[in-house]
């Protein structure tokens, strides 16, 4: 199987390249497959009101919709490329928008700066809108797929070797999924996508319950979690939100990563106090340090998210990273502020999350409640 990735910015011609190549390769008798990488956090092929969606919600690992003219198989969990590839019996596989698989790459672009941002050691050719103005760039051939599809197909057949599985992977650049391709890019601060909530849970295990504490300020939420962590006596990854002081006065808060980070990258401010009970959020810290530390957490980790509240409102990529962490992590413990935050409410609404309210009356018993729930999670 020959595998080629086609990447580029929105409206650069990726889908046109894929469809033209599919048609050309089919004319030549090849068996062709495609994979479309979709960055929209709300995307699902399944209508949430359909019977198949109900099957998935009930816990089915695989759901098959068998109709007269097609068969659709839905896995209710994310899969990496190598898991997907082994199911595809094709001669040529085209990946639209995939930045992870280290396979021969065609970059689609409007201008040269877009090529430079996506060019790497696996790039073999360029196409897209820029093909109307140039024939070569930095030693790479540029193909106009509307007039040179046969030449591009010949080039791929001659240049691309048979793919050996498993394919090596590389993290998708943070900028790539910054906006989905369904219209969210038109309104950065709009918190919905085609009328749906922007954050959708896809937990690997709904029986395992992540535990978050909420309650009044200074009631002892973080203290209760620390008692639990002391009892568990295992490595904890994640982060803590801590105050920083100047001349003995709290001037804001910073994010402290429990994941090993370079010294200059850690302990970055997330808010600055601008007045009495007033704080100015710094979402950039969440989008850089926050996203990076969550990326380094694997599925077997015990994770601490202390805390989540209203400062993350404009840190949309961080919100998505938190949801991915909740989807895959073995166990997450965290703190949720009592605030009217859509992000906090989205976490509370997840079926794999339990929220306990800490009060003066129950705070001494909360650690035992958490430990009991953790025991149930591993049964």
Q: Which tens digits make up the pLDDT trace of 337-364?
A: 999 899 999 999 999 999 999 999 999 9
Q: Do 320 and 217 share a structural domain?
A: yes
Say if 192 falls within a structural domain. Answer: no
How far apart CA 269 and CA 177 sit, in angstroms, is: 25
Q: Tell me the pLDDT tens digit for each residue of 68-80.
A: 999 999 888 888 8
- pLDDT grade, residue 47 (50/70/90)? confident
Q: Which of 126, 151, 186 lies at the terminal end of a domain, its last residue? A: 186
* R_g of the chain, CA atoms, integer Å: 24
Is pLDDT of 176 > 60?
no
pLDDT of 187 above 80: no
Do 214 and 182 belong to one domain? no
Q: Which residues contact 316 (CB under 8 A, 6 or more apart)?
A: 188, 198
pLDDT of residue 182: 52
Query: Is residue 200, in this structure, part of any structural domain at all?
Result: no
269 shares a domain with 143? no
58, 105: one domain = yes
Residue 237 lies in a domain: yes
On whether residue 310 sits in a domain, the answer given is: yes
**Cα gap 140→111, rounded to integer Å:** 14
Q: Looking at the domain assignment, is residue 141 inside a domain? A: yes
* Residue 194 in domain: no
Q: What is the DSSP letter of 309?
A: S
Residue ranges making up the domain that contains 238: 210-377
Residue in the block written with tokens 């989008």 = 287
SS3 16: helix
Same domain, 152 and 262: no
How confident is the prediction for the chain on average, in pLDDT?
A: 89
340, with CB counted inside 10 A (0-12, 13-18, 19+), is exposed
Give the per-residue pLDDT at 13: 92
Q: Does any domain span residue 247?
A: yes
Say which residue the tokens 């070569």 belong to.
136
Q: Which residue has the higher pLDDT, 137 or 206?
A: 137
Cα torsion 300, 170, 320, 283: sign: positive
What percent of the chain lies above the pLDDT cut of 70?
A: 92
Q: Are the C-beta atoms of residues 71 and 65 closer than 8 Å to each other?
A: yes
At which residue do the structure tokens 């015990």 appear?
Answer: 302
| Whether residue 147 sits in one domain with residue 97 | yes
pLDDT bracket for residue 190 (50, 70, 90)? very low
User: Which pLDDT value is given to residue 65?
Assistant: 92
d(Cα 364, Cα 359) in Å, to the nearest integer? 9
More confident residue, 300 or 336: 336
On whether the CB atoms of residues 333 and 303 are closer than 8 A, the answer is: yes
> Does residue 87 share a domain with residue 53?
yes
Q: How many Å apart are CA 49 and CA 54, to the nearest integer? A: 7
pLDDT band at residue 198 under the 50/70/90 scheme: low
* Domain match, 276 and 127 both: no
Element (H, E) at 119: none
| pLDDT number for residue 230 | 93
- Count the domains in the chain: 2
Strands 32-36 and 236-246: unpaired
> Looking at residues 222-232, what average pLDDT do you find?
95
Confidence of residue 196 (pLDDT cuts 50, 70, 90): very low
Decide: 253 and 271 in contact? Cβ < 8 Å: yes
Beta-bridged to residue 281, according to DSSP, are 271
Q: Are 204 and 328 in contact (CB under 8 A)?
A: yes
pLDDT of residue 307: 96
Q: Are 261 and 289 in contact (CB under 8 A)?
A: yes
Kindly report which listed range (28-32, 140-144, 271-275, 332-336) carries the lowest average pLDDT score.
271-275
CA atoms within 13 A on the CB side of 35: 25
**pLDDT on residue 115:** 94
132, 144 Cβ separation under 8 angstroms: yes
| pLDDT confidence band for 167 (50 / 70 / 90) | very high
Please state the φ and ψ torsions of residue 288, each to the nearest 5 degrees. -110, -80
Do both 89 and 221 map to the same domain? no
Q: Which residue has the higher pLDDT, 262 or 333?
A: 333
Q: For residue 344, what are its two tokens?
A: 């906090």
Residue 189 has pLDDT above 50, yes or no: no
Per mean pLDDT, which range of 200-204, 297-301, 369-373 is the poorest? 200-204
Q: Residue 302: how many CB atoms within 10 A of its CB? A: 18
Specify whether 165 is located in the same domain as 277. no
Task: Find the CATH number of the domain harbouring 328.
Answer: 3.40.50.300
- Domain boundary, last residue among 118, 153, 186: 186
Does the pLDDT at position 192 exceed 60? no
Q: What distance in Å separates the CA atoms of residue 339 and residue 345, rounded to the nearest whole number?
A: 9
Q: What is the pLDDT of residue 136?
A: 96
Whether 147 and 279 map to the same domain: the answer is no
Whether residues 177 and 233 fall in one domain: no
Query: In this structure, is residue 198 part of a structural domain?
Result: no
């Amino acid at each position: 199987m020959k595998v080629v990735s086609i990447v580029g910015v929105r409206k650069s011609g990726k889908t046109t390249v894929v469809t033209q190549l599919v048609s050309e390769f089919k004319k030549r008798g090849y068996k062709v497959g495609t994979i479309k990488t979709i960055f929209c956090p709300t995307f699902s092929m399944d209508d949430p009101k359909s019977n198949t969606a109900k099957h998935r919600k009930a816990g089915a690992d695989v759901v098959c919709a068998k109709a007269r003219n097609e068969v659709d198989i839905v896995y209710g969990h994310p899969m990496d490329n190598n898991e997907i590839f082994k199911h595809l019996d094709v001669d040529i596989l085209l990946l639209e928008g995939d930045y992870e698989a280290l396979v021969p790459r065609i970059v689609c672009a409007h201008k040269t700066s877009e090529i430079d941002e996506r060019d790497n050691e696996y790039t073999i050719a360029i196409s897209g809108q820029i093909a109307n103005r140039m024939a070569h760039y930095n030693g790479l051939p540029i193909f106009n797929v509307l007039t040179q599809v046969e030449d591009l197909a010949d080039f791929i057949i001659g240049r691309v070797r048979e793919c050996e599985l498993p394919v090596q992977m590389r993290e998708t650049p943070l900028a790539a999924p910054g906006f989905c391709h369904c219209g969210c890019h038109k309104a950065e601060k709009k918190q919905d996508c085609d009328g749906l909530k922007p954050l959708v849970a896809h937990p690997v295990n709904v029986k395992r319950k992540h535990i978050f504490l909420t309650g009044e300020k200074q009631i002892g939420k973080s203290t209760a979690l620390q008692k639990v962590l002391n009892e568990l006596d295992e490595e904890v990854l994640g982060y803590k939100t801590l105050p920083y002081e100047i001349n003995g006065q709290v001037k804001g808060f910073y994010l402290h990563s429990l994941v090993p980070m370079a010294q200059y990258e850690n302990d970055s401010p997330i808010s600055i106090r601008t007045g009495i009970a007033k704080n100015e959020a710094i979402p950039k810290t969440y989008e850089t340090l926050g996203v990076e530390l969550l990326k380094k957490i694997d599925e077997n980790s015990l994770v601490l998210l202390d805390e989540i509240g209203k400062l993350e409102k404009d840190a949309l990529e961080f919100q998505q990273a938190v949801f991915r962490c909740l989807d895959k992590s073995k166990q997450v413990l965290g703190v949720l502020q009592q605030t009217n935050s859509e992000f906090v409410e989205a976490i509370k609404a997840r079926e794999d999350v339990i929220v306990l309210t800490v009060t003066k009356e129950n705070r001494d018993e909360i650690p035992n409640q958490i430990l009991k729930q953790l025991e149930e999670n591993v049964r």
